[in-house]
Structure 1
Amino acid sequence: MKTYDFLQGEVLLFDKPLEWTSFDVVRKVRNLIRIPKVGHAGTLDPLATGLLILCTGKFTKKINEYMGMEKEYTGTFTLGATTPTYDLESEPRDLKDISHLTEQQIHNAPLSFTGNIMQTPPIHSAIKQAGRPVYIAARKGIDVKLEPRPVSIYHFSIEKIELPVVHFRVVCSTGTYIRSLANDFGAALGVGAYMSSLRRTRIGQFKVEDALLLEKFEEALKGSASGSVL
C-alpha cells in the first residue's frame, strides 16, 4: 500500500473513461482528495480513452514537462467518408467507394506522414483565436482558418485492416492531432477518413498499463482514512 501526499505533490496516472472530458477527471479527483491544486498534462478528447497524467499540489509545476513528452496512440480510422470534426462527434458525409483500395496502398499511405511534417489542426479544437477556442466559432458556422504547425511523427503504421476500418499505431510529438492525421490519411488515399476510436497508451515513460481506474482510486480512498492508495 502506498501513501500519497497530495499537497506536497503527486503524479497520478489515470485511464480516462470514454465520454469523460479531461477536466471531468480533474474535477473528480479534486473533489476526492479535497485540494484545489490538481491539473492534467495533456488533453484527451471525450471520445478518446487512455492515459491521462494528473499532477497535484506542488507537482503541478511539472505539468509542462510531462506535456512536452512524446506520446503513443492506438485506434481506428474509418475510410470512405469524412466528418466536420474529423471524428464521431459529427455525422459522416461525402461517402466514397473504397473497393479499389489495395492493402499495399493502405500500408504505404503513412509513409508520407512520418517525420517532421506540417499539420493543420481541426477547426473543432480548443486552440484559441482572439482569446476564444476556435470550436465555438466553428459550431456557429463561422469560417475559421488555422495555419499549419510543425509536428513530428516518429512512427505511424497500419496494424490491421478490416475495411472500412483500419487499425493504427502512432508515436508523435506534443501538439499532434490524431484527428487531423485521420483526415489527411483519408485525403492521401482519395477516399476520405475520420477517426473512429482513439486510445493514448503512453506519455514518455508512463504507460497506460500502470494507470488507475477512477472507480478503483475512489474505492481505495474511501477505504483508507490516511489517504493511502493500493
Structure 2
Amino acid sequence: MSEWGNICFREGDDFRAGAVLVVDKPLRWTSFDVVNKIRISLRKGYGKIKVGHAGTLDPLATGVVIVCVGKETKKIEEYMGQEKEYVAEITFGHTTPSYDLETSFDEEFPYKHVDRECLERAVQQFVGEIEQFPPSYSAVRVDGVRAYEKARRGDEVEMKSRKVMVREIEILKAELPVVELRIVCSKGTYIRSLAHDLGKACGSGSHLSALRRTRVGDFKVEDAFKMDEIIGVLQENL
C-alpha cells in the first residue's frame, strides 16, 4: 500500500481501488456517523463509493475507528479480527443497566474497602480466555432482535456467555472511586461487561464511566485523524 498522509492506499492515490483511514472518533458520535461524513466528503471526487467501518465503537467511547474505502471494504472482517487496546475509566459505587452512562444509576454499593491490592487480585480473574456475558444494552441478537431494543422496551433479556481473550490488564490509576485500566483484548470483548464484573469481583458495584480505544492491530490513536482533519484533507485534495 502507498500512503497519502495517514491514508493508506492500495494503488496510487485512488480511493476506489482501496484505502484505509484511521479516525479518532469523537465523543457521542456513532461509528456510522464517522462513515457517513467521510462518504459524503468522497462524493465530490468519486460519486457513489463504498465506505464502511471495521468495528463499532459505542457513542460514549472515543478513539480508533478503522474506515475502509472502495475495494478495501472487502477486508473489513480481517481488520475487525485484530487485537484491540483500550484505556477504560471505571467508577465504583453505582451500577447501571447498560454498564455505562447511557442509563441512570440503578443500585448503590459500598466501595471504601476496595484498595489497589484488592484490584490487583480481581483483575487477574479476567486475564486469559474468559467467559463473558455481553450487556443487555448491546447489539448482540437475541431471538433475532438486537438486545438493546428489548432492553430499552423494558423486556427481560437473557444473554448467553461467550469466550473472549483478554491478553493484558494494567492498572494505570486507582484513586477510588475511580480506577483506570489499560486493557488488551480480542474482538468481541465488552469493556462495559468487564467494568461491571470487576465491581462484583471486588464485592462492590461499578460502571464504565469513560472509554478510549487506543489501538486496533498496528493502527494507533496517535496516528489517527481527528474528524475535522480528515474532512479538511479530503476537501483539499479531491
What whole-Å deviation, never above 9, does each CA across 1:64-103 have from its counterpart, x for those lacking one? 0000011000020001110000000011231112112222
Question: Contact 2:142 / 2:159 at 8 angstroms: preserved in 1?
Answer: no
Structure 1 CA distance, aligned partners of 2:126 and 2:165?
9
Letter aligned with residue 37 of structure 1: K
Letter aligned with residue 202 of structure 1: R
Aligned to 1:222: 235
Aligned to 1:100: 113
What is the aligned counterpart of 2:148 among 121, 135, 149?
Answer: 135
What is the aligned counterpart of 1:157 among 159, 170, 173?
Answer: 170
Question: Contact 2:25 / 2:65 at 8 angstroms: preserved in 1?
Answer: yes
Aligned to 1:72: 85
What is the aligned counterpart of 1:23 among 19, 29, 32?
Answer: 32
Asked if 1:14 is matched to 2:46, the reply is: no
- Stretches of structure 1 lacking an aligned partner (at least 5 in a row): none
Structure 2 CA distance, aligned partners of 1:201 and 1:42?
14
- TM-score, normalising length: structure 2: 0.91
Identity of aligned residues (%): 51
Structure 2 CA distance, aligned partners of 1:7 and 1:74?
34
Aligned to 2:126: 113
SS at match of 2:157: coil
Structure 2 CA distance, aligned partners of 1:223 and 1:72?
32
Q: How many residues align?
A: 225
Structure 2 CA distance, aligned partners of 1:41 and 1:125?
17
Letter aligned with residue 15 of structure 2: F
Structure 2 CA distance, aligned partners of 1:122 and 1:209?
29
Letter aligned with residue 67 of structure 2: L
Structure 2 CA distance, aligned partners of 1:128 and 1:99?
38
Asked if 1:194 is matched to 2:211, the reply is: no
What is the aligned counterpart of 2:157 among 138, 144, 155?
Answer: 144
Structure 1 CA distance, aligned partners of 2:114 and 2:71?
53
What whole-Å deviation, never above 9, does each CA across 1:170-193 have from its counterpart, x for those lacking one? 000000000000010011011111
Structure 2 CA distance, aligned partners of 1:86 and 1:73?
16
Aligned to 1:208: 221
SS at match of 1:45: coil
- Stretches of structure 2 lacking an aligned partner (at least 5 in a row): 5-11
Asked if 1:175 is matched to 2:184, the reply is: no
What is the aligned counterpart of 2:74 among 46, 61, 69?
Answer: 61
Structure 2 CA distance, aligned partners of 1:28 and 1:61?
20
Aligned to 1:84: 97
Structure 1 CA distance, aligned partners of 2:116 and 2:140?
35
